[in-house]
Structure 1
Amino acid sequence: MSFVRDGNVLDGSAVSDHVRGQLRDSVDALADAGATPSLATVLMSTDPASETYVSMKQRACDDLGIESVHRELDADAPAAELFETVEELNADPDVNGILVQMPVPDHVDKRRVLRSIDPAKDVDGFHPENVGRLVAGDARFKPCTPHGVQLLLDAAGVDPAGKHAVVVGRSDIVGKPMTNLLIQKDAGGNATVTVCHSRTDDVGAHTRQADIVIAAAGVPELVDGEMLSAGTTVVDVGVNRVDADNEKGYELVGDVDFESAKEVAGLVTPVPGGVGPMTITMLLYNTVKATSQQVDVPVDLPDTGSLGQEA
C-alpha cells in the first residue's frame, strides 16, 4: 500500500483511513469483551472553529463505534461550572476519555483545566503527569498531533534514527512534545533535533541542514523551497486562514509554501489533507488505548514501526 501520491506528496488522509481501519478491529475486540470506548468532549466557547472541531471529533467517534458524550457550557458561565463538569466526567466509569476543547474563556485558568482532568482519561496527553511520563520515555498517551506525525513518517518509510530533524515551533501542543518524541530512544525517535522559534536568527540556516523539517510555528508559509535541501522530508503542521479571492473569502494554508517546497522536498505533506486527519485519528487511538487500560483488556494498536512495513 502506498501513502504517497503525485510523486512526493505524503497523503495524510490515506494514512488516517488505514490507521482507523486498524483501530476498528481494536474497538471490535473491546466490544467482544463487553466494553465500548467512550469519549467526552467539553465545549465552553462560541468560537465557530472550536464548534467545528468538536463536531468533527464526534462524527469520527460515531464512524468508529466509539460513544461520544458532549457537554456544552455557556462561555460566560463561572469557571467553577467547567471544573464541576470535568469532575463529574472523571467520576463516571462509562467515560474513558475526556477532552476540553481549547481555547477556554479568559476567566478560566487553562492550566488548571489541564490539571483537573484525570490523567488516566487525559486523551490529549497534556496533564502534567502525562507530560512528565512522555519526557521520561514512559508515555501513557502521546499527544495527538506529534504522534500523528510519527505515524506519517513511518507510513512513508522515513526512520528518524540518526537523522537531523528541525522542529520549527516550540508550543506545548506540538513543538515541545514533537521534540521529545524525536529524541526518545525508541521507534520513531533517535533523531538529532534542533528547535527553531520566533527568536531564532535565520531559521533557513537550520532547515537547510535538516533531513526532516517539521513546521509548527503558526506562521503562514514561513518555510519555502529556498530554506530546504534537496530530498528533505517536510511535515507541515500549520493550519492558517488567509484572505483569498474566493466565495469564502479565505483559504487554508500551512506553515510551508507548498508549491516551492514540493519542487525540492523528497516528501511533503499538504494542507489540508496532511497532518490534520491524523490528529483526530490519534485522539481516537488514545481513547481506545485508555479504554483498554481501564477495563484491563489488551488490544493491538498500530504504532511506529508497523505502518512502513505495510506500505
Structure 2
Amino acid sequence: MAAATIAETIDGHKHAQILLDAVAVELAHLAQAPGFAVILVGDDPASHIYVQSKIKMAERLGLHGEAEILPDSITEADLLSIIAALNARDDIDGIQLPLPVHINTLRIMAAVDPAKDVDGLHALNAGRLVHGADALIPCTPLGCLKLIKSMVPDLTGCHAVVIGSSNIVGKPMAALLLEERATVTQTHVHTRDTQFICRSADILVSAVGKPGLVRGGWIKPRAVVIDVGTTRVARPDGGYDVRGDVAFEEAMRVAGAITPVPRGVGPMTIACLMENTVKAAKARLARNG
C-alpha cells in the first residue's frame, strides 16, 4: 500500500520575513520614514493584540505606527473628523479601519484618502483592482496570492476556487487570481454543491470563518490550500484555540501544500500592510517631487 500523502506546510512567518526584508530595502531609499495609523473602534481584546503587533512590526522596520483606540459609543461624525485629520497629515501614509458592525463601513471608507487606503477597501482602489490597474490591494488577499505563487509561480489555466465573497477577502482574492490568468470559481452561502466544486480546485482559498468547514474529502489531490479562517474556539478549561476553516489533519493527507492556522496567512497580512504603507509613501513622495 502506498504511503499517505503528507502536504507541505506553507510557513507564513518565513515568507513574511522575506517580504519584510524587501520592504526594509525600500525603506532605506526613502528620504522620510512612512507612517500609518490604525483606527480601532471598540474594546475587543483580540483586536487590541493584533493592532499592537502591527505597531511593533512597524517600529522594528523603522516605520511610524500609531493607534487611535476609540469607544464603541463614538459617533459617525466624530469618526469622520478623525479620518479627515489623518488624511491631512503628511507623516501618515496609511489608514486602517477595523470597524464594528454598527458603523457604516462603506461610508467611513469613502472618507479615507484613496492614496492612504492601505486596506485597499476604498471604492477607487477596489475598482482599479478589478480593472487590472495599479492599486493598493487588500492585505490579506495580497498575502494569500504571494503564498500561492511561492508554490505555483504561474497560475495560467489553474482552476482556483474561493470560498467566501466578502469585500475584505473573497472578492479581491477572486480578482487577483483572475489577473493571474487563473480560471476562478467563487462560492458563497447560497452556492449549491460546494464540496463538488472544491474537489476540482488546483488552488483552494477558504475565507468564511467556520472552523473545520473544509474536510479532506473536499480537496483535490495535490491542491494548494490557503486557509484564511481564524476563529477562536473555547476550550473546556476556559482557554481557547484558534482554528481555521480547513480540517488541517485531514487536508494534510490529500493536499500538496497548505497554510496552517495560526502561522499561515496572518503574518503575511501584517507584512503586506507594511508593503502597502511603503508603496503609499513612495507614491506621495513622487507626487510631491
Q: TM above 0.5, one fold?
A: yes
| Percent identity of equivalent pairs | 41
Q: CA deviation at 1:102?
A: 2.3
The answer to whether the 8 Å contact 2:140/2:265 transfers is: yes
How far residue 56 of structure 1 moved from its aligned partner, in angstroms, is 1.2
- Asked if the contact 1:170/1:195 (under 8 Å) is kept, the reply is yes
Return the TM-score normalized by structure 1. Answer: 0.87
| Other-structure match for 2:122 | 127
Is this contact kept in 2: 1:153–1:159, CA < 8 A?
no
One-letter amino acid of the counterpart of residue 189, structure 2: S
Deviation, 1:69, is 2.5
Question: What is the aligned counterpart of 2:73 among 73, 76, 97?
Answer: 76
Return the alpha-carbon distance in structure 1 between the equivalents of residues 66 and 235 of structure 2.
36
- 8 Å CA contact 1:40–1:68 kept in 2: the answer is yes
One-letter identity of the residue aligned with 1:275: V
Over the residues paired in the alignment, what is the CA RMSD in angstroms? Answer: 1.5
Residue 115 of structure 1 corresponds to which residue in structure 2? 110
Deviates more, 1:148-157 or 1:116-125: 148-157
Aligned to 2:10: 10
Q: 2:277 aligns with which of 287, 302, 311?
A: 287
**Within 5 A, what are the aligned runs for 1:87-236?**
87-103=84-100, 106=102, 108-184=103-179, 189-236=180-227
Q: Any idea what SS the aligned residue of 1:260 has?
A: helix
> Does residue 1:267 correspond to 2:267, yes or no?
no
Letter in 1 for 2:44: D
Q: Deviations over 1:204-230 (max 9, x none)?
A: 100111111001111111111111121
Amino acid of the residue matched to residue 182 of structure 2? A
User: Which runs of no fewer than 5 residues in structure 2 stay unpaired?
Assistant: 1-5
After superposition, the Cα gap between the structure-2 partners of 1:7 and 1:222, relative to the gap in structure 1 and judged at 3 Å, is closer
Do 2:198 and 2:219's aligned partners in 1 also have CA atoms closer than 8 Å? Answer: yes
Q: Could you give the per-residue CA deviations for residues 236-277 of structure 1, whole angstroms, max 9, x where no partner exists?
A: 01001112245x522111000000000000001100011111
* Aligned counterparts of 2:67 and 2:9: Cα–Cα separation in 1: 36
Q: Per-residue CA shift, 1:67-107, capped at 9, x if unaligned?
A: 01222222212221111000001011111111122226x1x
SS of 2:197's equivalent in the other structure is: helix
* Residue number in structure 2 paired with 1:307: none
Aligned positions, number? 282
Equivalent position of 2:35 in the other structure: 38
